[in-house]
Amino acid sequence: MTPGDERPVRVGPLMNGVEADVRSRIRLWLIERGGMVAYEDVEVFERVFAQLRRAVDDRNLDVLLLPELLSDDAEWALEPNLSFSSHRPIAGRVVLFAKRRLMMPLLRWLFEYSQVNFKRQHQLNRILLACIEELAVENARLRADMTALLNKLAR
C-alpha cells in the first residue's frame, strides 16, 4: 500500500470475525470444563447465545412483564434500607443515638460493601427476568406456529 493509496477500512466483517472467534472460544471453554453437552453442537450454542444476548442487549431491563405481575416491587427488588427507629419514647432516643453515632460508623464499610453486592445481584435478577421473558415469548411463538401447523395438517 502506497502513501497516497487510502481505501476505506471495512470494520463490520472484521468485527463479525472477532465476535465469532470469541463465541467459539467461550463454547470450547464451557465444553472443556464440563458445561452443557449440547454446546458441542455449534448451531445449538449459537442459538442459545443469540437468545441470551437478545434478552440482555435488545431491551430495557426496567420494563419487564414478570415484575409487573408480582404484587409488590419490594418482593423481588433488593434495596436495603438503613434506617433506625424505636417504639420506646425515652429509652428509644438513647438507643437510636448509640446506633447512629457509635454503631453506624463502625458498620458503614460493611453496609457500603453490601450495597455494591446488592446492586450487582439486582442487575443479575433483572437480566434473569429478561431471559425468562425472552424464553416465554419464544415459547409462545413456537406454540402458535405449532398450532397453525397442526390446523393446517388437519384440513
In this structure, are residues 64 and 126 in contact, taking their beta carbons and an 8 Å threshold?
A: yes
Question: Taking 90 as the threshold, does the pLDDT of residue 129 lie above it?
Answer: no
The pLDDT confidence band at residue 14, using thresholds 50, 70 and 90, is: confident
Phi (first) and psi of residue 134, to 5 degrees: -60, -45
> In angstroms, rounded to a whole number, what is the distance separating the alpha carbons of residues 137 and 143?
10
Residue with cell 497516497: 4
The residue with greater pLDDT, 15 or 80, is 15
Q: Is the dihedral of CA 68, 74, 76, 82 positive or negative?
A: positive
Is pLDDT at 150 greater than 90 in this prediction? yes
**Which distant-in-sequence residues (6+ apart) come within 8 Å of 61 by Cβ?**
123, 126, 127, 129, 130
Structure confidence by residue, pLDDT tens digits, 30-81: 999 998 889 999 999 998 898 888 888 877 888 888 777 776 655 555 555 6
Reading the block at residue 28, the C-alpha cell is: 470450547
* pLDDT number for residue 20: 93
Q: What is the mean pLDDT of residues 96-117?
A: 79
pTM of the model: 0.60
